[in-house]
Structure 1
Amino acid sequence: MSEATYKSIAVLGIGTVANPLIKELLANGASVLVITRPSSKARQIPEGAHHTAIDYTDAPALTAAFRKHGVEVVVSTINHGALDAQPPAAEAAKEAGVKLFVPSEYGPPTAGHTEGIGGMKSRFADFLVATGLPYTRLYVGVFIDWIPYLFALDETGKLNIIGEGSSPATVTAVSDITGFLAYVLTHLPPSQLHNATFRIQGERKTLRELAALYGDRVPVVDISEFPSSVKNGAPRAVLQAIFNSGIGSTGFDAAEGKDDEQRAGSSNSLWPGHQWRTVKEVLNL
C-alpha cells in the first residue's frame, strides 16, 4: 500500500521564495496557510491561500493555527535576520502534530558549518533532530535572479569581480527552486522526505563564465572591494566570496572540505520531465 502524500502546508513568510512557492503549492493541489508577522509590510497573498498574522516566536498562537488548519508540513522562508525565530516555530509545529519541517536554507550546503549564517542553519537542523521533528533541507546554490545584484550591474553599469572568479558554483532560478520544492512536498511519500537533503542545480558557473554570458556589451572590471557608492557592498562581496571559495556548489560537503561535481544537482531527477532554466533564459541574455 502506497503512502499518502502531504496536502496541508503552512508557509512562514512572504517574499522572494514564499510568494512563488505558495502559488506552486496551490497549483499542485495543496491547502496552504500563509503566516506572516504582524509587523510585516502589506503584501499580496496569492489567491486561494489562507492567511493569518502571528509573531513567529508566539508558540501557543502558532500551535493553535497549525491545529486549526490541520497543517502537516511547515515551510520556513524566514530571512537571515530572523533565523532565531525558527526554534519556537518548530516547537509549536511539534506540539501541533506537524509531521515535517522545511527550514530556511535556499542557498549553498550548510551541514557541518559552525560559523555565521551557515552555522545557524546547521545548528537548527540539529535542533529539529533533537526534538524529533523530521526535516527536509534544500540546497540550491545562488539565485540566478540575483546575478545582476552580485555584480552591482544596475548601479555601476559594469560586471564587478572580486578575486580570481574561477571557482564554479551552483546557480538556480527562483522559479525552479520553488517549483521543485512544491513538487516534492506534494508528490513524494513521507519516507522520501523525512530527514532528507536535496541538492538541485540549474547551472554550474564561475564568476568569469557568468560575466562572459553578457558578451562584449558590458565591461568586466576587477576590483578589490565595492565602492562606497554601491549600497550593500558587503553582502555582495560575501556572495562573491562564496563563489571564489568553492562552497557555493550544491556538491560541496563541509565534512569532506571539497566539492563533488557529481553530487551537485543530484536531486534534479526527482522532478521528472522538468527543463531547468539557464542563466541566459532567466536574465534574457
Structure 2
Amino acid sequence: MSEATYKSIAVLGIGTVATPLIKAGLLAHNASVLVITRPSSTARQIPEGAHHTAIDYADVSALAAAFRQHGVEVVVSTINHENLDAQPPAAEAAKKAGVKLFVPSEYGLPTAGHTEGILGAKSRFVDSLVAAGLPYARLYVGIFIEWIPFFFGLDETGKLNIVGEGKTPATFTAVSDIAGFLAYVLTHLSPSQLHNATFRIQGERRTPRELAALYGDKVPVVQISEFPLSVKNGAFRTYLQVAFNSGAGSTGFDAAEGKDDEKRAGSSNSLWPGHQWRTVKEVLNL
C-alpha cells in the first residue's frame, strides 16, 4: 500500500518564492495552505484560497498552536537570509505541534558541509533539525535567473561586472520553476521520499562569461577583483561570485569533496515529469 502524500502545509513568509509556491503550486495541487507572517510585516496580498495569520516568529507557543489548529503536516520556510534567526523557534514549534517535515530556507547554493557565512548558518540549521528528530527537505537551486542583473551589478553600474575570470559553470534557475518544483514534490512524493532528502535542480548551466555573452553588445563587460564599496550589497555580490569561481555556484557542488559534479547538478529535475525548464534568455528577454 502506497503512503499518503502531505496535504496540509504552512508557509512562513510571503515574498519572492512564497507567492508563486502558494498560488500556482500548492493551491493548484489542492493542498490546504496556512500563511504565517509577522504582525509588523508589510506583506503582499495573500493568495486567495490560503489561510493567513500574523504571529511573532519568536513566539513558539503561538506558532505551535497555529500549526495544531490547522493540522499542519509540513512547514516551509521562505524567510530571507537576513532573518534566518527566525527559523530555530519555528522548528521548535513545529516539533511541539507534531509537524512531520520542515523545509528550511535554502533556495540557493549547496550548503551541506559549509562552516562559514550564510551557507554555514544554513548548514548548521539543518544539523539542528536532525538533532531534534524533525525530518527536513532541502532544495538547492543555484542563483535565481531573475537575480542575474543583481549578480553582475548591472542596474547600479550599467556594466556586467565579473569578479575573477568568470569561467566556472554555475546553476541558474527561474523562480517560477523553483516554486513549481517544490510544490510538485511536496504534494506528489511520499513522506519516505521527502524525509531528509536533498533536491538539486537546475534551469540552466552557464559560466558568468557565457551569461555576459547573452547580452551581446547591449552593455559593456568588465573584469574586477571585487565590487566597490559604493555599490550597495557589493560585498555580498563579491562573496557570491567568489563562491562561483570555486565551483560552489553549481547545484552539483559538494563542500566536503570541495568540487562540482556536473552529473549531480540538476539531478532532481526528473522528479517533475514533463516540465520544460525556463532558460536565461527566456526569463530576461535577451
TM-score by length of 1: 0.97
Match of 2:55 in 1: 54
Give the 5 Å matches for 1:34-183.
34-183=35-184
Query: Unaligned 5+ residue runs, structure 1?
Result: none
Task: Please give the secondary structure, in 1, of the residue aligned with 2:172.
Answer: strand
Match of 2:5 in 1: 5
Distance 1:227 1:129, change over 3 A: closer
Post-superposition offset of 1:79 = 1.1
Give the aligned residue type for 1:119.
G
* Aligned-partner Cα distance in 2 for 1:227–1:198: 35
Query: Unaligned 5+ residue runs, structure 2?
Result: none
* Aligned-partner Cα distance in 1 for 2:14–2:29: 19
Match of 2:277 in 1: 276
* Aligned-partner Cα distance in 1 for 2:212–2:50: 39
Post-superposition offset of 1:228 = 4.5
Post-superposition offset of 1:229 = 4.2
Contact residue 37 and residue 43 of structure 2 kept, 8 A: no
Post-superposition offset of 1:223 = 2.2
Give the aligned residue type for 1:269.
S
Q: Determine what percentage of the aligned residue pairs are the same residue.
A: 85
* Aligned-partner Cα distance in 1 for 2:228–2:85: 32
Give the 5 Å matches for 1:244-283.
244-283=245-284
* Aligned-partner Cα distance in 2 for 1:216–1:230: 23
* Aligned-partner Cα distance in 2 for 1:70–1:223: 52
Deviates more, 1:129-138 or 1:226-235: 226-235
TM-score by length of 2: 0.97
Contact residue 159 and residue 222 of structure 2 kept, 8 A: yes
* Aligned-partner Cα distance in 2 for 1:42–1:131: 31
Task: Please give the secondary structure, in 2, of the residue aligned with 1:138.
Answer: strand
Which 4+ runs in 1 deviate beyond 6 A? none
RMSD: 1.1
Deviates more, 1:15-24 or 1:232-241: 232-241
Contact residue 126 and residue 136 of structure 2 kept, 8 A: yes
* Aligned-partner Cα distance in 2 for 1:215–1:97: 53
Give the aligned residue type for 1:222.
Q
Task: Please give the secondary structure, in 2, of the residue aligned with 1:119.
Answer: helix
Contact residue 14 and residue 43 of structure 2 kept, 8 A: no
Task: Please give the secondary structure, in 1, of the residue aligned with 2:127.
Answer: helix
Give the aligned residue type for 1:11.
V
Task: Please give the secondary structure, in 2, of the residue aligned with 1:5.
Answer: coil
